[in-house]
A = this chain, B = another copy of it.
Amino acid sequence: MRIGELGKATGVDIETIRYYEKAGLLPPPARMPNGYRAYRPVHLERLAFIRHCRALDVPLAEVKRLLDFVAHPEADCGDINQLIDEQLGRVRARLKSMRALEKQLAALRAQCQVGNSAANCGILHELVAAANGEACACHGAVAKPGFRKGSLSR
């Protein structure tokens, strides 16, 4: 199986496949006499696993860890639980802040009627006012629950 076929079978871009190989996630396949990569079913399986994890937004570094678990099935799966829990925690935190974000944006959007000039634009006024509120250390006035003010995920 050449790289293009593997790509088609999994829906993964060729460049991405080579990237995974360079990154150490996909083992380097054998080569055909002409230098082309020769993939076997095991690669397809592994690539599908990687993509499935990525679709779950698991970072590549953790996919690597998961692959290690697959390779060493005698390990304790408590670590896997922890890995998933961490990921779940990240996702939930992000979800929470995104819900707040959606609310803010929707409120912002409601500030403005079409046809105004920017000088009267409620959105712009709101943004500027909110920014001033934050800058003057009136923390909590604008950004309410679960919303990270000033400092972004840092």
Chain A residues near B (Cβ < 8 Å): 9-13, 44-45, 47-49, 51-57, 66, 69-70, 72-78, 80-81, 84-85, 87-88, 91-92, 94-95, 98-99, 101-102, 104-106, 108-109, 112, 114-121, 123-124, 127-128, 130-132, 134-135, 137, 143, 147-154
16 pairs across A/B with beta carbons < 8 Å? A11-B151, A45-B132, A48-B131, A48-B135, A56-B104, A56-B152, A73-B124, A74-B118, A76-B117, A76-B118, A77-B116, A77-B117, A80-B112, A80-B124, A91-B102, A95-B99
Given known contacts A118-B72, A127-B53, A131-B49, A85 and B98 CB-to-CB distance under 8 angstroms? no
